Amino acid sequence: MISTAHRLVNLEDLHQAMRQGRDLLYPSEPKIMIGTATCGLAADAEEVLHAVREEVANSKLPYQVTETGCIGWCSQEPLLDICIPGRPRVTYGRMKPGRAREIVRAIPEVKREWALAMMPGDENTLNGAHVNYCVPHNGHMDGLTAYKDLPLFKRQLRIVLRNCGIINPDNLEEYIARGGYHALWHALRKHTPEEILNEVKRSGLRGRGGAGFPTGVKWQAVRDAQGEPKYVICNADEGDPGAYMDRGVLEGDPHSVLEGMTIGGYAMGAHEGIIYVREEYPLAVMRMKQAIRQAQDAGLLGQSIFDSGFSFEIRVVKGAGAFVCGEETALIRSIEGKVGEPQQRPPYPAQHGLWGKPTCINNVETWANIAVIVQRGGDWFSQIGTAKSKGTKVFSLVGNIENTALIEVPMGTTLAEIVYEIGGGVPNGRACKAVQTGGPSGGCIPADKFDLPVDYDSLNQAGSIMGSGGMIVMDDHTCMVDIAKYFLEFLEDESCGKCFTCRVGTQRLKEIVTRISQGEGKEEDLDLLQDLSWLVREGSLCGLGQTAPNPVLSTLRYFRSEYLAHIRDRRCPAHRCRELITFAIDPVLCNGCGACVQICSGKAILGEKKKPHIITQAQCTKCGACLEMCKFDAVLVH
Amino acid sequence: MVHITMNGLAVEAECGSSLLEVARFYNFPIPTLCHEDGLNSYGACRLCLVEIGEGPKSKLVAACGYRVEEGMKVRTNSMRVQRARRLLLELYVATCPQSKRIQDLASEYGVRQCRYQPVDGQPGAPWDPKANCIQCGLCVRICAEQMMAGAIGFSGRGKSRHVARPFGMTSEQCRQCGACLYACPVCELRCQASTAESLLCNGCLNFSPVCFQSYSDAMCFLEPCHTCELSGPFRHEVGIKVHALHDAGQKVAPSTGELK
Ligand SMILES: Cc1cc2nc3c(=O)[nH]c(=O)nc-3n(C[C@H](O)[C@H](O)[C@H](O)COP(=O)(O)O)c2cc1C
Ligand code: SF4
Ligand code: SF4
Ligand code: FES
């Protein structure tokens, strides 16, 4: 649904839009919501949406059907929510079109056997408001767990994700109904730029793009810098494998980023903003462009916003999806149409950025925090988190984890709480071995260090980094040498290639780690890995090179014995490195069912029906398919 | 003028000058591979690393691109710098063992081992533009900045990055001037001594160095290459640079430079 808001000039207009938005958010007839962020679409949410629309149209049901962003429960996508006035919102997971139709037909009955959870009301961290959908404990939902009692959501505090999965991101009024653009109004009409800047400083907010630089300090530098015009940029490049926090925000709550950037522009004296998004995020690009149009139509972008005399415009620039273009100086060059190679700092972008002008670059998540800080005050924000890391952080929890999820927790939450409580631990009864934070620049933290609080400084000390918030959980079937190799492969492709240390260093690191994974390594290779890692870290220009050895260094630090097993015993303890393992069939356990023969792509398994089978080693490609296939545990790996 | 401390010495430097310029002015040696006066600094080879700052905040930066700042402390030969140079040159030797310039630097800065496998083929093999180019970018910059042609550039990123002509063809911008060939620091003089047992030459540490002849293959982006055409009769003479690609069919004997 495209908004048809007229120009909003004063607080009364904003309240008017808020009332319209409330009617959409909490309509008087039943509302059906389908999560159609990229994670939902990947699980065929489109089909579910289509089926529901058809069902409603065909049966002429008086229901509203809307889309929403990602609420973070990615393992249960596609999600379908039914909101009936006076009742809690009920969530159904893993929807198929047929089942969705049945659920719709059953309204107002709840299909309890398929329901995942219910939401008796929503909270809004932006203004502290609670909206109750129903009288609490009215008995409607006995047996269904409330969201806030689910382990996945219990510990979460959703500031950045406050609207994701709640509002329809296509709809400006729904954003305003949740208190959106009020902070902008207050900033422009009631505060000076200095006051806003001080509020951001007081909040203690640090950049969420990786390095954790204090946002207020950066803003001050841009404000004080000589040169006009000034620019603000939103860094939505998000290139880490397994990370999709920024995508979740852009797709689920685009206006929160626009509002943050506009407030930032006011505080720093900039009049132009640019959102740099990778082209691989077509939905995010579409949603942002649409949100910009809506904001322009409503006068929330453009000339003299809220009649304050302050003008601001935002446009979207698409990047071609190079990891290194997330680095701020490379990003600037990419916007300028040049090759995305990082540049020597100083001069910092704050002094000499886009087109040589003072430029403030912040991450999507950083921007999405701004409206809340302005609305509730820096002091409120700084109560959340730890002494040096304030507020919350969004993580994408992926890998060998029960609940693949997009979560937001206060800084200082421990890894154990995140992995075991929120994430539900490792599936299939396996043990958790380590978690990789910070993407390719980060490191692996072993399970026995999981009491580590997650904040910038603790993670640094443990040899990893916060990074932008990807968290990859690994079970005991993960080989750490293999993991190091995986990240080096990523980095040798994604380094811009300018620095000799980074370009050649990552290739050589990979060469050595590969050698070790093939059982050809020598013990001296570990010293060489240390030396070379040191050189790459010390000698490279930008953050990519300086952190590229982290995956090697952290695995060497915590899992040295695993490297030694590969070298000394030519053995891969996790049975992952193909060159070092052999598959065999236990003649006692094998009952000759032949299931493995069908699955083996190398035609390596021979045997008569009902007789023990054998694997011809020369033909075996070591893919492990037979191991997965055999129901009698007869396939052995050495 | 700004005031900085360089290797403990209080010195003055012109605003906006690079640490490398200041160091050279005061005669502190800093090795470089990707810097040439008259071309913009690029920061690719990392060999000019120096240490700035003090205590836990100190770090290594490339002197060629780092501008002087008032009050900064610079060390051009600290332990950290020396270690970085040694490890770096070890990596360079492995990448381009045929280059006399690199072998000389390795000897000079005390590289005594090379723990890497050769990148391509055996040591002493002809210069291979894909494998042995150190991507210092001098050829690209001299073409763009001095010849005002911009006929070559870098293509790709990460491990597939290489110097290339647009679409692999010589463009109309190319005046066939040969500046790229002139600028290349590693393909002119060939180190003769690196053997299969060790990539590292260190010949100059002996009483009778063996590097007295140059190889007859080199990298240039000319098509056809004037040097090669003109230098046919002279190609065995010392110091003449010839196009590697033209020699693709004719293997060059590593020790003598003679055609097999
Ligand atoms: C190799 C590399 C990749 C990066 N990728 C991103 C990214 O995808 N998104 C991002 O916000 N910051 C990224 N950064 C960090 C940015 O350079 C910059 O610090 C950040 O955008 C500043 O915003 P913040 O202060 O809000 O964190 C990357 C840095 C490096 C070195
Ligand atoms: S460190 Fe790597 S990515 Fe960064 S500028 Fe150097 S080569 Fe490029
Ligand atoms: S060809 Fe020579 S000059 Fe050009 S980048 Fe390679 S090493 Fe440098
Ligand atoms: S001379 Fe400074 S990096 Fe090459």
Q: How far is ligand 4, taken at its centre, from the CA of residue B145, in Å?
A: 17
Are residues A189 and A262 located together in one domain of the fold? yes
Structural domain contains residue B28 = yes
Lowest-pLDDT choice from B32-46, B192-206, B241-255: B241-255
- The percent of residues above 70 in pLDDT, for chain B, comes to 70
pLDDT in the model for residue B258: 37
Assess if residue A368 is contained within a domain.
Answer: yes
Instruction: Tell me how close the Cα of B67 comes to any Cα of chain A, in angstroms.
Output: 8
Strand partners, A129: A124
Domain-terminating residue out of A126, A149, A172: A149
pLDDT of the residue at B171:
86
Residues 6+ apart with CB under 8 A from B3: B10, B11, B12, B13, B70, B71
The rounded distance, in Å, linking the Cα atoms of A511 and A337 is: 34
Q: Tell me the residues of B at the A interface, defined by beta carbons under 8 Å apart.
A: 42-47, 49, 59-62, 65-67, 69, 80, 83-84, 87-88, 91-92, 94-95, 115-117, 134-135, 137, 154, 156-161
User: Is the Cβ–Cβ distance between B3 and B71 less than 8 Å?
Assistant: yes
Nearby residues of A192 by Cβ (< 8 Å), 6 or more positions away: none
* pLDDT over 60 (residue B252): no
Looking at chain B, list the stretches that DSSP marks H as alpha helix, in order from N- to C-terminal side: 19-25, 79-95, 100-108, 129-132, 138-141, 179-183, 226-231
B162 belongs to a structural domain: yes
Q: Which of A286, A233, A298 is nearest to A260 (CA)?
A: A233
d(CA A215, CA A410): 18
Report if residue B258 sits inside a domain: no
Instruction: State the helix-helix crossing angle for A193-203 and A364-376, rounded to 10 degrees.
Output: 110
Residue A358 lies in a domain: yes
Residue B131 has pLDDT above 90, yes or no: no
Please identify which residue in the block is written with the tokens 């937001």. Answer: A408
User: What dihedral angle (degrees, nearest 10) is formed by the CA atoms of B35, B38, B41, B47?
Assistant: 10
**pLDDT for A441:** 87
B109 and B204 belong to one structural domain: yes
- Residue B197 is predicted with a pLDDT of 63
Residues A304 and A313: beta-carbon distance below 8 Å: no
- The residues, ordered by sequence, that sit 6+ positions from A286 with a Cβ below 8 Å of its Cβ are none
> What's the pLDDT score for residue B247?
41
Which of B77, B107, B140 terminates a domain? The answer is: B77
Query: Does residue B82 lie in a domain region?
Result: no
- Determine, yes or no, domain membership for A158: no
More confident site: B208 or A274: A274
CATH code of residue A467: 3.10.20.600
| Residue B67 and residue B101 in one domain | no
Both tokens of residue A83?
Answer: 């909101």
B111 and B36 in a common domain: no
CATH code for the domain in which residue B16 is found: 3.10.20.740
> Which pLDDT band, with edges at 50, 70 and 90, does B119 fall under?
confident
CB A563 within 8 A of CB A556: yes
Q: Tokens representing A41? A: 């679409």
Residue B71 inside a domain? The answer is yes
Domain check: are A226 and A354 in the same one?
A: yes
Residues A216 and A333 in one domain: yes
For residue A521, give every residue at least 6 positions away whose Cβ sits within 8 Å of its Cβ, in sequence order, or none: A512, A515, A563, A566, A567
Q: Looking at the CA of B158, name the nearest ligand.
A: 2
Which ipTM did the prediction report? 0.89
User: Could you give the number of structural domains in chain A?
Assistant: 5
Task: Indicate the helix (H) or strand (E) that contains A472.
Answer: strand A470-475
A604 and A460 together in one domain: no
Q: What letter represents residue A371's amino acid?
A: A
Q: In this structure, are A124 and A55 located in the same domain?
A: yes
Q: Which of B131, B63, B65, B69 is nearest to B98 (CA)?
A: B131
Distance CA A368, CA A378 (A): 14
Residues A39/A74, Cβ–Cβ less than 8 Å? yes
How many angstroms from the chain centroid is the CA of residue B191? 14
Q: Which residues pair with A397 in a beta bridge?
A: A405, A471
- Where residue B195 falls among pLDDT bands split at 50, 70, 90? low
- My answer on whether omega of the bond before A78 falls inside 30° of 0, hence cis, is yes
pTM: 0.89
Q: Of B26, B47, B77, which one is at a domain's C-terminal end?
A: B77
Do the domain assignments include residue A246? yes
Residue with tokens 């296939």: A629
* Residue of B95, B130, B135, B141 to test ligand 3 pocket, by largest number of atoms within 8 Å of CB: B135
Residue B103 included in any domain = yes
Please check whether residues A534 and A549 belong to one and the same domain.
yes
User: Does any domain span residue A561?
Assistant: yes
Q: What is the pLDDT of residue B190?
A: 57
* CA atoms of A302 and A273, how far apart (whole Å): 11
**Do A263 and A188 share a domain, yes or no?**
yes
The answer on B39 and B161 residing in a single domain is: no
Q: Which amino acid is at A587?
A: P
Closest residue by Cα to residue A169 from A271, A349, A294: A294
pLDDT tens, position by position, B220-234: 444 444 444 433 333
Which residues are CB-neighbours of A169 under 8 A, at least 6 positions away?
A67, A68, A69, A163, A251, A252, A253, A254, A287, A291
Three-state SS for A364? Answer: helix
Rounded-to-integer distance, Cα A482 and Cα A477, Å: 11
Which protein residue has the closest C-alpha to ligand 2 atom 4?
A: A542
Write out A114-176 in H/E/C secondary structure: CEEEEECEEEECCCCEEEECCCCCCCCCCCCCEHHHCHHHHCCCCCCCCCCCCCCCCCHHHHH
B16 and B100, same domain (yes or no): no
Same domain, B30 and B144: no
A366 and A421 within one domain: no
Find the length of chain B.
Answer: 260
- In this structure, the answer to whether residues A517 and A462 fall within a common structural domain is no
Test the A interface: residue of B57, B91, B95, B133 with most A CBs within 10 Å? B91
CA angle A600-A601-A602, nearest 5°?
Answer: 95
Which atom of ligand 3 is nearest the CA belonging to B134? Answer: 7
- Token duo for residue A25: 């958010």
Low-confidence ranges of chain A (pLDDT < 50): 1-4
Domain containing A604 equals: 582-637
pLDDT (mean) for B53-81: 96
Domains contained in chain B, number: 2
Of the ligands numbered here, which is closest to the C-alpha atom of B188?
Answer: 3
**Helix (H), strand (E) at residue A317:** strand A313-319
Joined together, the tokens standing for residue A145 give 């767990």
Which residues, in sequence order, are CB contacts of A461 under 8 Å at separation 6+? Answer: none
A593, A521: one domain = no
Q: Which atom of ligand 2 approaches the CA of A497 most closely?
A: 7
Q: Cβ of A497 and B135 within 8 Å?
A: yes
CATH code, domain with B203:
3.30.70.20
- Local confidence band at B192 (pLDDT 50, 70, 90 cut-offs): low
Q: Which residues pair with A132 in a beta bridge?
A: A121
Domain-located, residue A7 = no
Based on the fold, state whether residues A240 and A192 are members of the same structural domain: yes
CA A473, CA A527: separation in Å to the nearest integer?
Answer: 28
**Which tokens sit at B58?**
């100190």
Q: Helix crossing, A282-297 with A245-252: angle to 10°? A: 40
3-state secondary structure A67-113: EECCCCCHHHCCCEEEECCCCCEEEECCCCHHHHHHHHHHCCCCCCC
- Quick one: which of A154, A488, A200 has its CA closest to A362? A200
Same-domain check for residues B139 and B197 = yes
Cβ pair B65:A346 closer than 8 A: no
Residue B237 has pLDDT above 50, yes or no: no
C-beta of residue A273 within 8 angstroms of C-beta of residue A367: no
The overall longest dimension of chain A from CA atoms, in Å, is: 86
Q: Are residues B57 and B146 in the same domain?
A: no
Please give the pLDDT value at position B201.
Answer: 72
List pocket residues of ligand 3, CB cut-off 6 Å. B 133-139, 163, 183-184, 186-187, 219
Q: Residue range B141-165: average pLDDT?
A: 93
Instruction: List the single residue in A344, A495, A539 with the smallest CB-CB distance to B158.
Output: A495
User: What is the Cα–Cα distance from B235 to B237, expressed in whole angstroms?
Assistant: 5
Same domain for B100 and B11, yes or no, is: no
Please name the residue of chain A whose CA is at the shortest distance from the CA of residue B113: A528
* Domain extent at residue B151: 94-252
Q: What distance, in Å, lies between the first and last C-alpha atoms of chain B?
A: 60
What is the distance of C-alpha A496 from the center of its chain?
24
In A400-501, which ranges are E strands?
405-410, 432-437, 443-446, 470-475
Task: Starting from the CA of residue B31, give the closest ligand.
Answer: 4
Please tell me the predicted confidence (pLDDT) of residue A480. 97
Domain-terminating residue out of B28, B51, B77: B77
Q: A514: closest CA among A496, A529, A502? A: A529
Share of chain B above pLDDT 90, in %: 49
| Cβ atoms A324, B157 nearer than 8 A | yes
Task: Evaluate whether residue A458 is within a structural domain.
Answer: yes
Between helix A524-539 and helix A500-517 the angle, nearest 10°, is 160
Residues A222 and A314 in one domain: yes
Residue B248: the pLDDT is: 37
Residue A103 lies in a domain: yes
B178 and B217 in a single domain? The answer is: yes
Query: Which run of H or E residues covers position A436?
Result: strand A432-437
> What pLDDT score does A413 carry?
97
Q: Which residues of A touch B159 (CB under 8 A)?
A: 492-493, 495, 497, 503, 506-507
Backbone angles phi, psi at A64, to 5 degrees: -95, 140
Q: Say if CB A469 and CB A211 are below 8 A apart.
A: no
Tell me which chain B residues have a C-beta less than 8 angstroms from the C-beta of A505. Answer: 91
Q: List C-alpha distances in Å: A462 to A339, A385, A483.
A: 35, 19, 18
Q: Is B32 in the pocket of ligand 4 (CB under 6 A)?
A: yes
What is the CATH classification number for the domain harbouring A500? 1.20.1440.230
- Which among A475, A510, A527 is the end of a domain? A475
pLDDT at A559: 97
Q: Which residue has the higher pLDDT, B214 or A352?
A: A352
Task: Please provide the size of chain A in residues.
Answer: 638
Q: Whose structure tokens read 């995140």?
A: A418
Q: Report residue A49 as tokens.
A: 């949406």
**Which two structure tokens, joined as six digits, stand for A248?**
């979740």
pLDDT score, position B194: 54
Residues B156 and B182 reside in one and the same domain? yes
Q: Residue B187 falls within a domain, yes or no?
A: yes
Residue B85 in any domain: the answer is no
